[in-house]
Amino acid sequence: MVKRESNVDRVYDALRQMAVDFAFKPDQRLNESALAAQLDTSRTPLREALNRLVAEGLLTFQTNRGFFCRSLTPKDILDLYETRVAVECEALRLSCSRASDDEICALEMWLAEAEPMYLSSEDTLELLTLDEEFHLRLARLSGNNELLRMLASVNDRIRYIRLIDLKNMCARSGGDPEAHRKIMRALAARDAKGADTAMRSHIEKRREQATEAVRIAFSQLYVPMD
Q: Could you read off the pLDDT of 24-73 as tens digits, one per residue?
A: 999 999 999 999 999 999 999 999 999 999 999 999 999 999 999 999 98
Q: Write out the H or E segment, with its range, that includes residue 23.
A: none
Mean pLDDT over 205-221 rounds to: 80
pLDDT of residue 218: 79
Q: Could you read off the pLDDT of 75-128 as tens digits, one per residue?
A: 999 999 999 999 999 999 999 999 999 999 999 999 999 988 888 888 888 889
Higher pLDDT, 220 or 154: 154
Higher pLDDT, 171 or 182: 182
Asked if the model's pLDDT at residue 197 lies above 90, the reply is yes
Q: For residue 117, give Cα distances in angstroms to 108, 121, 170, 206.
A: 15, 5, 14, 21
Higher pLDDT, 220 or 13: 13
Q: Could you read off the pLDDT of 13-26 as tens digits, one per residue?
A: 999 999 999 999 99
Ordered structural domains, the chain, with CATH: 7-69 (1.10.10.10), 74-221 (1.20.120.530)
| Alpha helices, DSSP H, located in 121-176 | 124-140, 145-173
Asked if the model's pLDDT at residue 225 lies above 50, the reply is no
**Percent residues over pLDDT 70 in the chain:** 92
Asked if the model's pLDDT at residue 129 lies above 70, the reply is yes
Distance, CA of 58 to CA of 64 (rounded, Å): 19
Higher pLDDT, 137 or 212: 137
Q: How buried is residue 135: exposed, middle or buried, by Cβ count under 10 Å (0-12/13-18/19+)?
A: buried
Asked if the model's pLDDT at residue 1 lies above 50, the reply is no
Asked if the model's pLDDT at residue 226 lies above 60, the reply is no
pLDDT of residue 223: 62
Q: With cut-offs at 50, 70 and 90, classify the pLDDT of residue 172.
A: low
pTM of the model: 0.86
Chain mean pLDDT for the chain: 90
Mean pLDDT over 165-185 rounds to: 76
Q: Write out the H or E segment, with its range, that includes residue 211.
A: helix 210-222
Using the CB atoms, write b or e for 49-74: b if 16+ within 10 Å: bbebbeebebbbeeeeeebbbbebee
